[in-house]
A and B are shown apart, each in its own frame.
Chain A
């Protein structure tokens, strides 16, 4: 006689383990995304566009306008990667069904896309432009705090004591990285790149809220289709509302958008699309398995991954506060990782 109880526990442990595995994949891919994200600021047509827009408006505005075009192309290449993914998994009909259920289901992905796209991803590109890739990456590290607290207050998602400790350590890591750079900036002659810090804060807030909001939509939809629905909305936001609005305001959006279709910028944007698209696939897959808070907590290792990748590929060495903060983030993720899996048999309180 096989002990069904033992088998059930084993099945449950496997489920939690695969949830953590997905979250870890997300961290690696997300870390890789900061390479194209940083490189994009050094290549044509974006450098040329920055120059032209700088002649139209002064101050920090031009970088923000270019960041809008970069984010819009990021959304476009992500959607191409996701369509291929859904096509392979035979999910395209399910995607149509999910999008049609606007009121009960896909409206959550629309709201999530606003938080994730024009707030978080756009904010990240701003932070990359004003301060740099490593900073942009670690600035976003605070988002699991926002995500788990929102999910807890809104629909009572469980946060065990251990998970709470892990989240706190991760946040301490994020603060170290943020604070270190800010103190340096204040002391330097060039002054503080406030818009970069604002971008970093937007990343943390946007991604945290997106996770919690998407959690509601994911309850009644599949993760692959839910995620694609979220990017369909983001794509529409950029290409139907924001880019045309900027073009009407007189900025050369379409002129430079056409110029992106050359080998180098296209390669960089496709690299961004693939890494970011699949990082999101893994991210959304981990949520139903281990919950929004824990999924975000482990995925947070992206902060450290990005520092390693940026060092390996671009040779940029960040400040020591970034290393200390990165180590704290790993420690926090491991505190969450070692949680007794039966404590999270059901994710809701």
Chain B
């Protein structure tokens, strides 16, 4: 299947409604697009997350200092979770109606 734009994919990864650390999301997408060793590309992807949070798609729920240097030693790591607005926009904008419904499915609503 053809790859979709970075932000679509980042959003898609968040539609499991679980919280994710920014470095995990960035590394996952960078790997899928063949850019695991491309620091510049990873910065770009991280900036996409910041933008998605600024637009209210994701919520920055927790921060910790990157002591181990998994992203950038001494900098902050952010944990994001998708918002209701993000889910609504993701459904009508880029990912179709059947995403982000894990919790509903588990609750037996669908």
Contacts and interface: CB of A to CB of B under 8 A. Distances in A.
Query: Chain B contact residues (Cβ within 8 angstroms of A): what range?
Result: 20 to 34
B2 to A, nearest CB: 7
A225 B54 contact: no
In this complex, the member of A7, A89, A220 whose beta carbon has the largest number of chain B beta carbons within 10 angstroms is A220
Contacts of B94: 101, 104-105, 220
Interface string A92-104: 0010011011001
A180 interface: no
In this complex, the member of A219, A221, A348 whose beta carbon has the largest number of chain B beta carbons within 10 angstroms is A219
Contact of B65 (A4, A218, A222): A4
Query: Chain A contact residues (Cβ within 8 angstroms of B): what range?
Result: 20 to 34
A223 B5 CA distance: 12
Interface stretch (B13-21, B56-64, B98-106): B56-64
Contacts of B48: 222
B6 to A, nearest CB: 6
Nearest to B8: A220
Interface in B86-101: 89, 93-94
A347 B5 CA distance: 22
B7 A2 contact: no
Contact residues of A: prevailing secondary structure = helix
Nearest to B85: A348
Contact of A222 (B3, B7, B89): B7
Contacts of A288: 51, 54-55
A100 B5 CA distance: 9
Contacts of B11: 220
Contacts of B54: 15, 288-289, 346-347
19 contacts: A2-B65, A4-B65, A5-B63, A8-B63, A11-B76, A15-B54, A90-B38, A90-B40, A90-B41, A97-B2, A97-B5, A97-B6, A219-B55, A220-B8, A220-B11, A220-B94, A289-B51, A346-B53, A347-B54
Given A100-B2, A220-B5, 8 more contacts: A4-B76, A15-B50, A97-B2, A98-B5, A220-B94, A221-B7, A289-B54, A346-B54
